[in-house]
Amino acid sequence: MGTVTTVQQPVGILDNINMDTVRTILAHPYPYPHQHSQHAIIAVFVGCLFFISSDNMHTLIQKLDKNFKWWSMYACLLGFFYFFSSPFVGKTIKPSYSNFSRWYISWILVAALYHLPSLQSMGLDMRMNLSLFLTIYFSSISFLLVFHLIFLALSYIGVVSREARRRPEILTILQNCTVLSLACCVFYSHCGNHALNEKPFGRKDSGLFSFWKREDRSELLAKFLKMYEFKDEVCKSWFAPVGSARDYPLLSKWVIYGEFSGTGPYESSDEISPIYSLWATFIGLYMANYVVARSTGWALTHPLPVKKTEKSKNKPKFLEMVPWYSGTSADLFKTVFDLLVSVTVFVGRFDMRMMQAAMSGAHVGAKQEDFLYDHFSEKDDFWFDFMADTGDGGNSSYSVTRLLAQPSLQALNDGSLLNLPRGNLLLIGGDLAYPNPSAFNYENRLFRPFEYALQPPSWYKDEHIAVNKPELPFGVSELKQYDGPQCFVIPGNHGTFFNLLIGRLSQNWFDGLQTYMRYICHKSWLGGWLMPQKKSYFALQLPKGWWVFGLDLALHNDIDDYQFKFFLEVIQEKVKVNDSVIVMTHEPNWILDWYWDEVTGKNVSHLIRDYLKGRCKLRMAGDLHHYMRHSYVPSEKPASVQHFLVNGCGGAFLHPTHVFSNFNKAYGTTYETKAAYPSVQDSSRIALGNILKFRKKNWQFDFIGGFIYFILTFSMFPLCKLDHILQADTFSGHVKSFISTVWDVFMYMLGQSYVSFAGAIFLLVAATAFVPSQVSKRKRLAIGVVHVSAHLTAALVLMLLMELGVETCIRHNLLATSGKTNICKHGMVSLSRGGAIIYYASVFLYYWVFSTPVVSLVFGSYLYICINWLHLHFDEAFSSLRIANYKSFTRFHIKQDGDLEVFTLAVDKVPKEWKLDSDWENELRQPQQMSHHRKYPSTWRAKSVYQDPINTLRIVDHFVIQTDKSE
């Protein structure tokens, strides 16, 4: 080979500039993101503190002790609203429910602060500023909308760049206008309105600070006076009037002219008001930034071709984990509807496996080819992998598929470094895409992570339907010659969240297995893994006398007669006396039968016990999203199965292990727990997250929870005659009076409230039905009653606290009294229908905010108690946490002596941020090269090298299954 010579080019000034830094400064990866507004909000907030402290700090300190209860209420309100809004922190890019909630809560907070006293002590006139804010806000929106329309029109006639046709997000315009209006109001209050700023500092000292020495007070006041002088200089220098109002005779007087309010009438100045100059400055900056970025700035921020830049800068298009408790997910509602209709009405009366058997039964040769595969049987050194329950969160699924795709993995085992080659075969044990097996979920949650990890051949088309399998690459005449990894998949089930509606249903079967057949049996590639599979169940003959039976348990958690007959024929005709069989199912019915104290899968048990007769060395399944291995305890009674293995850590949310830690018996023999991942102690600790993180993980649940609490208290609004609670002399008297009032309200609901009583009964029925159906009716009812009692108590207490707050504000003349007083005197009949609707709508807006954090706390506590104390709701209590960590798969090695060595490889923490792998991008490859021949097969790697799954991999279980070598 020749030597490649690199020619050094002259280095200029521009070459030393880090263009990534320049791009970061000039343009954010998201066009005009909300972060721009957030930075402006920070600047405005700092400015507010400066002006308020310089003008009013002395007055604020003096009045602090006199208004201590109001300042405490301010602190409580701010703390509560922060607690309410905390789940939405960081969710500001995409316009979603989180943005709606953010603005809604801000509006509620402003409304609450508007009615509280002591704002004047902070130098804020809320009524004046609110009217000014609304005027500037809507004027700014109108102005910017006209500007964007003009700019868009210029792009269509070719005056500006075509890139200008990308429309700005309306939410960005609204946020910018909000920040602009706030800045104008605050700065005008402290710079433009001279009368507000001419406040004497000579005030009488308050009692709280009476212990100060006069010298200290004088020194402190002198510092404040200097700060005030500095502020005055800032106003004169930065926000001074600009130009003359005579130059702008068409603009309205209230905007242009400076206002001087004193003891006499208003006087008009001939100078332009600072509010106009400030507004014009902000608007000008926004317009200049927009024009530059959409025209000339485009060349600076994207010096590379657009397609290449987008390819290198875009993040992988991973979907977030399924929000099982979302009250806003249309996909979940559609899933429920499809399951109810399809399973109950149609699929329960039709079994696709019968159709498969009928289509393949006409010719014996066709049946063997469709269901039995022996092309692996002559391999010398054979490795294969097992995973299950993929297709939930993109980060977790890709972490596992990235590991599966590597040519080899290195991991420590007892101090020695092992090199584990990629499996020649990948077995997937069901639960392919959540929350339902729709085409969208198959493509985005299942195929996308696999294709990122190991790309399909360049000639492969997504829309292609495989008619004659196997469709081999060019130059390969038969399946035995293909040297790349292959994949076999069984359909699976999951009952998460839908257990309470229609029982444990088959995930891939609710549409009659149609989507599974389309994407698995009629496709040739899952990423870079070849799929020769034609039917939903199969038998694989592996080297050294090993077999894999992939069973399809369908709707009834058992194999049908046709499937039983097929495997029986394989056992009688193909499986030798000393062969070893691995039985793979989508559900670990051995441990679930123990957990629920029931018996399922009778045909499977019959096949294993009476026909395999000890040749079943291993049963493995997914469905439970953890790893557990139970092994046979030697005794006089022979074991039908030596090892039970559950590994559902392929990409779905985590399941607990501690609720299954006592499993010890199956098929009439004794077993013991050999490995659990995560550990039993860690599993119990993780469950605590339901109390601490339920609402943060499931903030969409607010829609359901807030509405339920409002229905429970609907008939009790408004509460009247609460003076007896406020007039108690001692704290204990307040508490007793409060509890007594709650009990009276509860009795009123039982005796006279139709809507709230009906809501409580409905909630009781739902809570009882939510308890797993396998629990006894008496226990289910007891759990349901306790659960509903906690919610009802919380709803009534919140309602009473809210009404007490209203009562307190009325007593201090902070709210109008005519509305509530009229209702208390004459009842709701005194209101018109429209007035009643307005009243209840207003009450709901406030009560919803107060109730949603509490309903999540109560429900999360219920799940925690059930999972850790009663060992119930293992699905519901961990699906709520949406844990993407603790992912694993199992790698098998058939050794030269026929023994099966088993490694379970795990990643404790899944990366959340990825970037394009430079090794993958720069690797030289041939035009028709298959991806499994590449040294770096995966497109993305973790943003931090220390968090990449390849570098954090560890072995959590290792054992060897010995075969019977006797002749």
Into how many domains does the chain fold?
Answer: 3
- Given 880, 910, 926, the domain boundary residue is 880
DSSP state of 90: T
Cβ atoms of residues 851 and 795 within 8 Å: yes
In a domain, 2, yes or no: no
Q: Are residues 788 and 819 in the same domain?
A: yes
What's 818-880 look like in SS3?
HHHHHHHHHCHHHCCHHHHHHHHHHHHHHHHHHHHHHHHHHHHHHHHHHHHHHCCCHHHHHHC
What's 425-478 look like in SS3?
EEEECCCCCCCCCCHHHHHHHHHHHHHHHCCCCCCCCCCCCCCCCCCCCCCCCC
Please report where in the chains the tokens 């599974």 appear, as a residue. Answer: 516
In a domain, 18, yes or no: no
What's 737-764 look like in SS3?
HHHHHHHHHHHHHHHHCHHHHHHHHHHH
Q: What pLDDT score does 455 carry?
A: 94
Q: What pLDDT score does 191 carry?
A: 67
Q: What angle do CA 329, 331, 334 make, to 5 degrees?
A: 115
d(CA 45, CA 658): 49
Q: Are residues 291 and 388 in the same domain?
A: no
Report H helices in 496-632: 499-502, 514-516, 561-573, 589-596, 602-607
Q: Are residues 605 and 716 in the same domain?
A: no
Pairing mode, strands 580-585 and 616-621: parallel
d(CA 458, CA 527): 11
Q: Are residues 612 and 743 in the same domain?
A: no
Helix or strand holding residue 173 (H, E): helix 170-187
Q: Are residues 813 and 892 in the same domain?
A: no
Q: Are residues 745 and 624 in the same domain?
A: no
* The two three-digit tokens of residue 228, written as one number: 């005030």
Q: Are residues 710 and 831 in the same domain?
A: yes
In a domain, 617, yes or no: yes
Q: What pLDDT score does 47 carry?
A: 66
* The two three-digit tokens of residue 243, written as one number: 């130009």
In a domain, 114, yes or no: yes
- pTM higher than 0.85: no
349-358 burial: b if 16+ Cβ within 10 Å, else e: eebbbeebbe
DSSP state of 933: G
- Given 880, 910, 934, the domain boundary residue is 880
DSSP state of 52: H
Q: Are residues 567 and 523 in the same domain?
A: yes
Q: List phi, psi (to 5°) of 41.
A: -60, -40
Domain range for 126 is 33-88+96-194+219-258+269-299
Q: What pLDDT score does 716 carry?
A: 85
Cβ atoms of residues 63 and 203 within 8 Å: no
Give Cα 937 to chain centroid, integer Å.
29
Please report where in the chains the tokens 């390969």 appear, as a residue. Answer: 476
Q: Are residues 344 and 447 in the same domain?
A: yes
Q: What angle do CA 798, 802, 807 make, to 5 degrees?
A: 145
Give Cα 2 to chain centroid, integer Å.
54
| CATH number of the domain enclosing 912 | 3.60.21.10
Cβ atoms of residues 294 and 154 within 8 Å: no
In a domain, 468, yes or no: yes
Cβ atoms of residues 179 and 186 within 8 Å: no
DSSP state of 320: P
In a domain, 318, yes or no: no
Q: What pLDDT score does 370 carry?
A: 81
Cross-strand partners of 582: 548, 618
Q: Are residues 600 and 549 in the same domain?
A: yes
362 three-state secondary structure: coil
Please report where in the chains the tokens 């809560």 appear, as a residue. Answer: 105
In a domain, 312, yes or no: no
Peptide bond between residue 435 and the one before it cis (omega within 30 degrees of 0): yes
Q: Are residues 435 and 490 in the same domain?
A: yes
CB atoms within 10 A of CB 307: 8
- Given 832, 863, 880, the domain boundary residue is 880
- The helix/strand count (H/E) of the chain reads as 35, 23
All residues at 6 or more sequence positions from 475 whose CB lies less than 8 Å from its CB, including other chains? none
Cβ atoms of residues 691 and 878 within 8 Å: no
Helix or strand holding residue 133 (H, E): helix 126-156
With CA atoms as reference, report the closest residue to 538 among 596, 470, 595, 591: 470
Mean pLDDT, 10 residues at a time, the chain of 967 residues: 38 42 38 45 65 54 55 68 66 48 65 58 55 80 85 70 61 78 72 47 41 48 56 60 47 43 44 67 76 53 40 73 70 51 48 56 54 91 94 93 96 88 94 82 91 92 86 88 94 52 43 77 93 93 96 84 92 94 95 92 94 95 95 90 96 94 91 96 94 84 87 87 75 84 89 89 93 91 96 93 80 64 76 82 84 90 94 91 94 95 96 93 86 94 93 95 74
In a domain, 416, yes or no: yes
d(CA 619, CA 612): 12
Q: Are residues 469 and 583 in the same domain?
A: yes
Write the CA distances from 439 to 446, 703, 949, integer angstroms. Answer: 10, 28, 29
